[in-house]
Amino acid sequence: MSETKLSPAPRLGALATPRSRLFQPLALRGVRLRNRIVISPMCQYSAHDGMAGDWHFAHLAQFAVGGAGLVFTEAAAVLAEGRITHGDLGLWQDLQIAPLARIAAFLKRQGATPAIQIAHAGRKASMQRPWFGNGPLDAADQARGERAWPIVAPTAEPVGPGWLLPEELDLAGIATIQEAFVATAERARRAGFEALELHGAHGYLTHSFLSPLANRRRDSYGGDLAGRMRFALELAERVRPRWPAELPLFFRISAVDGAAEGWSIEDSVALARALKARGVDVIDCSSGGIGGSATAAAVPRGPGFQVPFAAEIRRGAGIATQAVGLILDPAQAEAVLEAGEADLIAIGREALFNPHWPLQAALALEGEEAWALWPEQYGWWLERRAHGLARASGAK
């Protein structure tokens, strides 16, 4: 059997002296990002038994071709029972490494840094894919062969009425899950990823330990802020020594629950300080999700609505932050960086709408020189097209 070979990498251009902060390279430990644009983890709910497939390759490849500096996979479950849905990506066994390694290699060949987020869904595990309702599994899901499995959480309380009742984790269960994160991180490195993110947001397991709305334990993993942070901090303590010292470690948080008596921005600053002390390099600042859908929160939504969280954590904890949330145009992204509100700009759904957003942002901020950043397979066509259109417009 002949070996499958990746297509040759395009010639990758560079800007001699970027004028914008968005296109200035960024060093994180031993990794150099070609720019400050990050593709956020975006679940596709299209895996089979946790295995990445052609859809995942095509989905992620387009963002590297499109010029992003750092490209995250969607959340990869550290255990089969830690998946959100039957369609979630996983990295809980060695069999799942190979298709992810192919993706990571392609991203790197296109000049992007390959990154992966790893997670356990906790009490939000075993639910519907979004297009089937985004709620508890029902009879229609069972008819499709998607049956519920037992789930766990810090406290035996469901997400809401009608949702599965989780089993409260005991100390042995907590240790098992933490070791699964470590083992998954090691697989991620074997797959060729050069940045790793621990998912601590959106109501999944780690966030549910942090939030007083979901954690009502009375042992050392609950109670006051220090107790509720213990699970998250232990994850960082366990994973950091087993993730290469030259590679960055990210941690995604919900900076606020957006609900009365919930997790607050002051709590997030305290957590960020403690994570920094344990070797975390970047705090990825999202919000909400402790109940309902992944990003549900009583936070008013508008362009850049989560940027203030990244700014406050950056100032208060002295750690690099990643801003995300309705960052829609290059000037807006540049302004966030210029104001010192974040170190990285993450885009998600905007990248789904326009995978070439980074390259178009470069043209907007850097001018004609930015054509050098386009893959030569596209750039030589498009630069001539742009000049031709300009001549035609000027002739009128």
CA dist., res. 113 & res. 25, Å (int): 12
CB neighbourhood size of 274 (10 A) = 18
Are 334 and 327 in contact by the 8 Å Cβ rule? The answer is no
Are 80 and 50 in contact by the 8 Å Cβ rule? The answer is yes
**Dihedral of CA 373/376/379/383: which sign?**
positive
Question: Among all chains, which residue has been given the structure tokens 């989780």?
Answer: 166
Report which of 335, 340, 341, 253 is spatially closest to residue 297, judged by C-alpha positions: 253
DSSP type of residue 100: H
**Residue 45 annotated among the catalytic residues of the structure:** no
Residue among 45, 204, 221, 378 flagged as catalytic: 204
Are 321 and 239 in contact by the 8 Å Cβ rule? The answer is no
Instruction: Dump the DSSP string for 275-343.
Output: HHHTT--EEEEE---SSSSTT--S----TTTTHHHHHHHHHHH--EEEEESS--SHHHHHHHHHTTS-S
For 256, counting Cβ atoms within 10 Å of its Cβ (0-12 exposed, 13-18 middle, 19+ buried), the class is buried
DSSP type of residue 368: G
As a whole number of Å, the CA-based R_g of the chain is 21
CA distances from 383 to 16, 55, 173 (A): 18, 30, 57
CA dist., res. 90 & res. 82, Å (int): 9
Q: Which residues are catalytic?
A: 204
